[in-house]
Amino acid sequence: MMGRALLIVGAMATLGLAAAAVLGYMLQGPVGSEMSRHVLVALASCLLLLFSHCWIMFYLIGTGKAIKEAVNENGLEPFLIEETKRFKNASYPSLMLAMTLAIATFVLGGGVATGAVPSWVHHVLFYATVVVQARALWIENRVLVENERLMADINGRLSGPPRGRRAEA
The Cα angle at residue 95 between residues 70 and 111, in degrees rounded to 5: 150
What pTM does this model have? 0.86
Q: How far apart are CA 132 and CA 167, in angstroms?
A: 50
Question: Which of the four pLDDT bands, split at 50, 70 and 90, describes residue 165?
Answer: very low
Residue type, 5: A
What pLDDT, on the 0 to 100 scale, is given for residue 62?
95
| 78/67 Cα distance (integer angstroms) | 10
- pLDDT averaged over every residue in the chain: 91
pLDDT range class, residue 164, cuts 50, 70, 90? low
Task: Please state, in angstroms and rounded to a whole number, the distance separating the CA atoms of residues 29 and 91.
Answer: 39
Give per-residue pLDDT as tens, 126-158: 999 999 999 999 999 999 999 999 999 999 988
DSSP 29: S
Which residues have CB under 8 Å from 137's CB, separation 6+?
7, 10, 11, 14
Rounded to whole angstroms, the Cα distance separating 24 from 124 reads: 13
Q: What is the pLDDT of residues 20-64, one digit of tens each?
A: 999 999 988 777 789 999 999 999 999 999 999 999 999 999 999
